[in-house]
Every structure is written in C-alpha cells, then in structure tokens.
C-alpha cells in the first residue's frame, strides 16, 4: 500500500501507483493557495535531511522558525508544509505512520527503484477510473465515475458510450439521472443482508459523494468538525451507520485512549424502522469497532 490523495488522503494498492504518477507531476499545482507559501529553502532543507539521514517525521525537525497558525489543524513549523508539498509531488512518500504522525521517506528509496515506473497513459487512467467505479458502485454516473475530477468527463463519456455500443454497459435511469451498469450486475439477485452493520467514516467513499449518498440512501450527511458547537446536528466527527441497505443512525464517537474506551457522545436515529432490534445490532458492531480502534 501507499498513501495518496483520491477523494481524501487514502491507502491505495501499490500496483495502482502508476495511475497516480501524472497527478503527482501535475495536480499539486492546483493547491497553489496552500503550497504557494512554501519557501524554496524550506523544501531544500527537508529533502537534504532525508537524503542524508533517512526517514523523518515533523517532530524530528526542531530548528524551524515558528510562525502563527492559519487554522486549527495547521502547524507552526514551515517544514510541515514543505514535507506535504514534496509528498504531493511524489518526491516523498509516507513510509510509516503512528496515528496522525507520518514518517516521510524518498519515494525512490522507499520502493527500491532505480527509476520510477512508467506513468499510465490518459486512456489507461480513464479505464482504471471506470473499472474502479463499476467494481465499487455497481451503478455509475458521470459524476461518480469522475468524482472530484470533472475535467475528465468528456473523455469518460466517450469511453462509456463506446462500451455501451458494444453491449458491455447498459444505460439505466435512476432518480432522473443517467447511470450505467454491467449486464451481469443488473442480472444478479439483490438480497439485502439486514444483519450487516457498517460504522462508516465521513470520508468513506460511500459517504463522501453527498449527492450520490442522498440519491441512493435518502440521507444527507453533514461533516461538522469545522462548525461551531451550537450549529452541529450530529456531532464533531459523526459517523453514519449502514444497516443492511439503509442509513439507520449517525453516531458521534470519540476514543478515550487513557481509559481505553469508545465513547458515544451522541446517537441520532435516521430511520424509524426496527429501532430496538437495530440498537442491539449497532451496539454489537460498536464493541467490534472499539476493539479495532484500541487494538
């Protein structure tokens, strides 16, 4: 696995790295408002240290001239932004992490490359994105196949139309929006497993595309970490709970690592269906989730 930006910072199979190399050379420039403040000297400093001394974390850098934070999640160390820029450029990769603390290493050295793999062509990237969407979503729309990447929509539409003409994809209208699916997907029996419970991150690919989530599940999620407390409906880091094929509840969870306990700070029911039985199911899932979180 390696870490890189998809719809959020994500774990991606290393076999797929070649599909991200073009983004590493190009897409970081779209973040110029954030990275424009990185001084060339800061970038040279962090890269020189890693080349000479090996992997490091931001905590290993103790000689920065500290600056004021621009927002709550920022760092006072200019080196942090320099490390992030080198990461997005594909010069550095995250070789290890402990919670939120990332260890950065030269990408070539981490993977043992004499030279990096050849980047995928634009056509190969489009096919990769479409296959990934079909595998994960079943029914795909133009928005979902090109999520957060609208500039690829014209080429994606040509690829989808080509497959539809060959019978590899079938057009399906759902909630007034054009979708496509493989024939075998439409022919497969649909049996919702009401015993299946997933406690989802707000960054989960099922939750993050808000319009798709609303269209398929009738639920509109709000990420409220950046809101003031009095404006929150669900809580600071509320997590939707999928039971069977329905978003049944939203839980604001917090880990107390000192007492090694998962705290339910707020429980909001979304569905009125079978609350008593579902509460037991969700509580069982919470016990599993707690063991996973606390190891």
Tens digits of residue pLDDT in 170-229: 999 999 999 999 999 999 988 777 789 999 999 999 999 999 999 999 999 999 998 999
Domain at 122-187, CATH from 3.40.50.2000, 3.40.50.720, 1.10.10.10, 3.40.50.300: 1.10.10.10
Q: What is the pLDDT, as a whole number, of residue 194?
A: 78
Cβ-proximal residues to 156 (8 Å cutoff; 6+ apart), any chain: 126, 129, 130, 142, 145, 146
Tell me if 18 sits within 8 A of 4, measured CB to CB: no
Strand 170-174 relative to strand 177-181: parallel, antiparallel, unpaired?
antiparallel
CB < 8 Å & 24+ apart, contacts of 99-102: 101/57, 101/58, 101/59, 102/3, 102/57, 102/58
CA distance 55 to 287: 36
Does residue 135 have a pLDDT over 80? yes
Give the pair of three-digit tokens for residue 83.
């490390």
Residue whose C-alpha is closest to residue 151's, from 113, 125, 186: 125
CATH 1.10.10.10: which residues of the chain?
Answer: 122-187
Cβ-proximal residues to 207 (8 Å cutoff; 6+ apart), any chain: 200, 201, 213, 221, 240
Q: What is the pLDDT, as a whole number, of residue 213?
A: 96
CA distance 128 to 115: 23
In tens, the pLDDT along 22-37 reads 999 887 666 666 676 7
In tens, the pLDDT along 29-86 reads 666 666 767 888 999 999 999 999 999 999 999 988 878 776 666 678 889 989 999 9
In tens, the pLDDT along 237-264 reads 999 999 999 999 999 999 998 899 999 9
CA distance 80 to 275: 46
Between residues 75 and 92, the one the model is more confident about? 92
In degrees, rounded to 5, the angle at the alpha carbon of residue 70 between the alpha carbons of residues 65 and 76 is 25
**26, exposed or middle or buried, with CB in 10 Å at 0-12, 13-18, 19+?**
exposed
In degrees, rounded to 5, the angle at the alpha carbon of residue 196 between the alpha carbons of residues 191 and 202 is 115
Instruction: Provide CATH code, domain 2-111.
Output: 1.10.10
Does residue 102 have a pLDDT over 80? yes
Strand, coil or helix: 128: helix
Q: What is the pLDDT, as a whole number, of residue 128?
A: 97
Q: What is the pLDDT, as a whole number, of residue 38?
A: 82
Strand 9-12 relative to strand 2-5: parallel, antiparallel, unpaired?
antiparallel
Residue 295 — pLDDT band, cuts 50, 70, 90?
confident
Q: What is the pLDDT, as a whole number, of residue 73?
A: 60
Q: What is the pLDDT, as a whole number, of residue 67?
A: 81
Q: What is the arithmetic mean of pLDDT over 277-295?
A: 92
Between residues 34 and 276, the one the model is more confident about? 276
């Amino acid at each position: 696995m390696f870490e890189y930006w998809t719809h959020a910072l994500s774990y991606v199979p290393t076999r797929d790295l070649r599909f991200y190399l073009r983004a590493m050379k190009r897409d970081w420039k779209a973040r110029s408002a954030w990275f424009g403040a990185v001084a060339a000297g800061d970038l040279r400093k962090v890269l020189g240290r890693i080349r000479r001394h090996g992997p490091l974390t931001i905590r290993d850098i103790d000689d920065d001239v500290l600056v004021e934070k621009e927002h709550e999640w920022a760092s006072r160390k200019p080196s942090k932004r320099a490390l992030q820029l080198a990461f997005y450029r594909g010069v550095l990769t995250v070789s290890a992490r402990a919670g939120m603390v990332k260890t950065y290493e030269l990408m070539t050295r981490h993977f043992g490359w004499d030279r990096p793999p050849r980047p995928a062509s634009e056509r190969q990237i489009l096919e990769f994105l479409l296959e990934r969407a079909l595998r994960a979503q079943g029914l795909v729309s133009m928005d979902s196949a090109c999520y957060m990447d609208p500039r690829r929509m014209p080429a994606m539409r040509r690829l989808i139309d080509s497959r539809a003409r060959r019978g590899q994809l079938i057009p399906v209208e759902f909630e007034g929006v054009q979708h496509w699916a493989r024939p075998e997907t439409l022919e497969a029996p649909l049996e919702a497993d009401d015993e299946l419970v997933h406690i989802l991150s707000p960054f989960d690919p099922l939750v993050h595309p808000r319009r798709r989530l609303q269209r398929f599940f009738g639920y509109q999620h709000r990420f409220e970490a950046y809101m003031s407390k009095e404006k929150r409906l669900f809580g600071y880091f509320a997590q939707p709970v999928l039971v069977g094929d329905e978003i049944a509840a939203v839980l604001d969870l917090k880990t107390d690592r000192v007492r090694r306990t998962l705290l339910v700070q707020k429980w909001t029911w979304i569905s009125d269906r079978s609350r008593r039985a579902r509460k037991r199911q969700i509580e069982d899932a919470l016990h599993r989730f707690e063991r996973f979180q606390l190891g």
